[in-house]
Structure 1
Amino acid sequence: MNSPVRSVVLVCALTLCASVACAQRAPFPARRLYMELHAASQRYAFVYSSGSPHKPTVGPAKVNIGYFVSPRLALQVGILYRTKEINQTSTGTTIAGIPSQTKRKKEEWTTVLPVLARYSLVAVSERLKVDVLGGVTLLQSRFNSTRTTTEGGQVVEDVQSSEKATATYATGGLGLRYALGRKKRLELVSDATISRNTAGLSPSVARYLLIPKWGGTSALSIGMRYNIR
């Protein structure tokens, strides 16, 4: 296991141990199950099956659902989805003077699942809390490309290609929560995390990322939490 991944695993283990130690001294939240909706901008780097590198920004929304397993520790799962489509058309004539047209279509679908432990590190006030986050993020992406050329209305070329990618990331970061209202069922939440592809990336790809030597990419989000029960 490489050192960046080992560091994240160590942080998660220490967080879990600390939460167990505090379990007898702190009461559980009044409502242990929660759901969050965030505006998010999260970047990930990976390599398609063909060897082509890709660094999409996934958003603009993220949904989390979580549950407190101890007074300070919650486990949460999120989902982000991105789809992108590009259509291009060019026209011209062949050497023989026949009208020609080329249509290109590119489609991409990316799904991201952050699976994180969220530990309440510091209570700045009764309403404001600072959390530390750690865990793994799973990504799946698919890319399709088609190019169709016609001459005089007849198809002379039809090329299709597809690529797939899956990736796992070590993820860690910090979060802020601010409770609203008398019953505190609503909270403003903001998270900032860094993720690293556990498979590693070539220097030519990593140099464009947030932390080139480590291969880290950033994720920012802000949203609202509803404490269900």
Structure 2
Amino acid sequence: MRILIIISRVLVGSLFIVSGLIKANDPLGFGYKLEEYFAESALNLPGLMPFALGLGILACLAEVVLGFAVLFGGRMKLATWALLLLTLFFGWLTAYTATCDPNGTYTVMVDGAEVTRGVTCVTDCGCFGDAMKGSVGRSLTPWESFTKDMVLLVFVLPLFIHRKHIGFNTAADDRVLLPAGLVLVAFFSWVFTWWFPVLFTAAGMLGYLLIKRLLQGPKAEWATAG
């Protein structure tokens, strides 16, 4: 089980950092994509449309912060709850994209009469899968994006289930998790032909190690988790 937890922390932490940075590279685009999802003709959540940009920015920041928290072992009880909810949220979006019928319809009442309209199928999630265009020449298909989220959930669940047993990194943990995480971030950067995540992650890790030297106990954990 310890090996599975280590693998899950490296994979989930690295993936969340890179995914968050990809979205943060175009927060407006991600916000517009969320507006498409929230539209009446899609998920029928028009009340959330004015908050789409704010939610998009919050999701970007949350992914990056949670990615580092998983690698550092910072406040894992809180971090794993947020990880699970965020993964389920993205899974919900990609499930809609994958299962949407482009010929589907819905009815609304307009001036007391029923009006039939076509549904809006969001063709892609506007996030991680789109970054594949620069390397493989195409985005992930809707079903590939949904499958990716379900595979990610498989690795998030062990962290959530064992969250009470995952503590703040020891020096031995750092020697395993930090190099492995940086290597995996470098692999994703190579796939996406975008090397900024490597520099960003390396800087974050150096900052984490510096904070650990300057602060002790809960102060260091809170500082590196957020």
Report the TM-score when normalising by structure 1.
Answer: 0.23
Give the greater-gyration-radius structure (CA).
Answer: 1
Structure with the largest fraction of helix: 2
Instruction: Work out which structure has the larger RCO, using CA pairs closer than 8 Å and 6 or more positions apart in sequence.
Output: 2
